[in-house]
């Protein structure tokens, strides 16, 4: 039963990051984001919600696996996880809230690095938990390219 609670908490923590980020995102999409010049490889808007939901669920399961292996002995890995989650939220604030693709691009590079460090720390605890973060790392890498392209096309 304790482990089920940890799973639920892990999922809630990760999905909450998406909910917090959406407060800054949703109001900017219909007007500001729609008006931006975007590269040819920009996905349709409807794809972002399902992709991010899946990624947050995978992140939650990954966190759960590490957490069940012991918080105290894996504290550093969990702190890195928390740091990247905060950076994840911050990106939405910078890109959509402040409407600053340049600041968001600088920040997303830091986010990608933090995810990579988290993945490495998680790998030392559980290979499975690390593998669950690979789609997230790949998507944020793609998002960084997209972010830079949007910045460049709108200078």
Helices (H), the chain: 2-25, 34-35, 48-68, 75-92, 101-125, 127-131, 134-153
Residues in the chain: 155
pLDDT in tens, the chain (155 residues): 568 999 999 999 999 999 999 999 988 988 999 999 999 999 999 999 999 999 999 999 999 999 999 888 899 999 999 999 999 999 999 999 999 999 999 999 999 999 999 999 999 999 999 999 999 999 999 999 999 999 999 99
At residue 27, the pLDDT reads 87
**CA distances to 2, 39, 103, 128 from 107, in Å:** 36, 20, 6, 27
Distance separating alpha carbons of residues 30 and 2, to the nearest angstrom: 43
Conformational region of residue 70, where left means phi above 0, alpha means psi within -120 to 50, and beta covers everything else: left
At residue 70, the pLDDT reads 87
Architecture of domain 2-37+47-153: Up-down Bundle (1.20)
At residue 71, the pLDDT reads 80
- Residue spans of the domains in the chain: they are 2-37+47-153
Residue 126 sits at φ, ψ, to 5 deg, of -160, 120
At residue 1, the pLDDT reads 56
């Amino acid at each position: 039963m304790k482990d089920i609670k940890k799973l639920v908490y892990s999922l809630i923590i990760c999905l909450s990051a998406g909910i917090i980020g959406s407060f800054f995102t949703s109001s900017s999409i219909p007007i500001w984001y729609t008006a931006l010049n975007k590269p040819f490889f920009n996905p349709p808007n409807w794809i972002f919600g399902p992709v991010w939901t899946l990624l947050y669920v995978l992140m939650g399961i990954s966190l759960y696996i590490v957490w069940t292996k012991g918080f105290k002995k894996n504290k550093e890995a969990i702190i890195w996880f928390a740091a990247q989650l905060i950076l994840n939220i911050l990106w939405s604030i910078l890109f959509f809230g402040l409407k600053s693709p340049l600041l968001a691009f600088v920040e997303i590079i830091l986010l990608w690095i933090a995810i990579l460090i988290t993945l490495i720390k998680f790998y030392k605890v559980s290979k499975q938990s690390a593998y669950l973060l690979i789609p997230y790392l790949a998507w944020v890498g793609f998002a960084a390219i997209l972010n830079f392209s949007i910045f460049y096309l709108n200078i």
